[in-house]
């Protein structure tokens, strides 16, 4: 009898505990994640575009250039966003149509655009080697020296001496391993040391040491996990990432580490950061629900947090955003954009807001833009 009562008591206790747990789960799922910051619509672009570039000019305006329109055409057009009015105005057009190019704000205030896809015909991608400069005071573009190699899906990094390092590029599945330096004082390009692993759709970050970290951007297991450092014309491999990544983004944190996000079909939640001293990669789980693997943006905010917005995976586009706080190694919700978008630009404005513009979503190529206010 005693054993029977004990078994009965244990059964009742298990049922009660299961009911309590179910109640907690229901209540927890009903409580929405607290969102930090808000998204509000602002003026729309004059031309819907994706795979364009966005650059904050020294006068506080934002320049977007090139991209692909809703008809699939590669664009020469460019526009300026005025944060004071929330409006876009058309500015001078580039000499060459381009998408997936790079845009770099030089120390003299002009913007260097280089390479990009010139055309896609029957699935064949044609990259170009041309480059040109935008002058904010005149609103006009002038051609400058061409790169030594045609490039698209490449990286461009402004170095501490004012020159620009471009590396890799080419079609996504046939990347290039060359690199070169642009000298603004001469308007010329010069080949520099080649990267150890050919890369396209990679991420390049200028470290506090003045070195450039380039990571991912290769579809092979070893290549897509690899990372290397550039300094004084030489590349050397550093510690590899934990996850193969292509179409990733990277941000230099205020503590000198580098946060990389996305670019992995298998472990998108396995965000990680690079610590230069010692050279190690550490994982930091995002806990995102079905996270994007590419097409998102990553922006360092004035408070040191990192904003991840939009993107796409195998199933759908995203309008959600997340914040990463390196001081606590934690993630939080950052509200939802009004439109799902991928391949857009995200530009940090002088007032601390982030301007998200264009891209592609479930409704097609977008002209809309919106502001994130922390």
**Residue 224, helix vs strand vs coil:** helix
Percent of residues, the chain, with pLDDT higher than 90: 75
Residue 241 has pLDDT above 80, yes or no: yes
Judge if the upstream peptide bond of residue 278 is cis by omega within 30 degrees of 0: yes
pLDDT tens digits, one per residue of 71-128: 999 999 999 999 999 999 999 999 999 999 999 999 999 999 999 998 888 878 889 9
Q: pLDDT value at position 182?
A: 98
Tell me the whole-structure pTM to 2 decimals.
0.89
Q: According to CATH, what is the number of the domain 45-194?
A: 2.120.10.80
**Residue 296, helix vs strand vs coil:** coil
Residue burial 149-179, b: 16+ Cβ < 10 Å; e: rest: bbbbbbbbbbbeeebbbbbbbbbbeebbbbb
pLDDT tens digits, one per residue of 288-327: 656 668 899 999 999 999 999 999 987 889 999 999 998 9
Provide the mean pLDDT of the chain.
88
């Amino acid at each position: 009898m005693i054993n029977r009562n004990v078994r009965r008591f244990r059964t009742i206790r298990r049922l009660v505990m299961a009911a309590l747990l179910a109640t907690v789960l229901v209540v927890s799922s009903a409580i929405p994640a607290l969102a930090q910051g808000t998204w509000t619509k602002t003026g729309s672009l004059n031309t819907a575009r994706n795979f364009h570039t966005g650059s904050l000019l020294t006068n506080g305006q934002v320049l977007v250039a090139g991209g692909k329109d809703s008809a699939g055409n590669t664009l020469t057009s460019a526009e300026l966003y005025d944060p004071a009015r929330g409006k876009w105005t058309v500015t001078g057009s580039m000499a060459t149509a381009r998408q997936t190019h790079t845009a770099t704000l030089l120390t003299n205030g002009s913007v260097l655009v280089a390479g990009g896809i010139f055309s896609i015909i029957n699935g064949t991608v044609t990259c170009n080697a041309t480059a040109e400069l935008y002058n904010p005071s005149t609103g006009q573009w002038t051609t400058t020296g061409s790169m030594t190699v045609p490039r698209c899906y490449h990286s461009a990094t402004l170095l501490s001496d004012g020159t620009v390092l471009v590396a890799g590029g080419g079609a996504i599945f046939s990347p290039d391993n060359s690199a070169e330096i642009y000298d603004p004082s001469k308007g010329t390009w010069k080949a520099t040391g080649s990267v150890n692993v050919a890369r396209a759709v990679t991420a390049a970050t200028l470290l506090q040491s003045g070195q450039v970290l380039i990571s991912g951007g290769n579809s092979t297991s070893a290549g897509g996990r690899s990372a290397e450092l550039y300094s004084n014309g030489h590349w050397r491999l550093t510690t590899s990432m934990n996850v193969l990544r292509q179409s990733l983004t990277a941000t230099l944190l205020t503590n000198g580490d580098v946060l990389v996000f996305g670019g992995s079909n298998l472990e998108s939640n396995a965000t990680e950061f690079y610590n230069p001293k010692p050279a190690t990669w550490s994982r930091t789980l995002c806990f995102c629900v079905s996270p994007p693997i590419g097409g998102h943006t990553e922006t360092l905010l004035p408070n040191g947090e990192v904003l991840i917005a939009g993107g796409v995976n195998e199933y759908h586009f995203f309008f959600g955003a997340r914040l990463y706080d390196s001081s606590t190694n934690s993630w939080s919700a950052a509200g939802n954009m009004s439109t799902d978008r991928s391949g857009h630009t995200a530009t940090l404005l002088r007032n601390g807001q982030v301007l998200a513009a264009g891209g592609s979503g479930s409704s097609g190529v977008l002209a809309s833009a919106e502001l994130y206010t922390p």
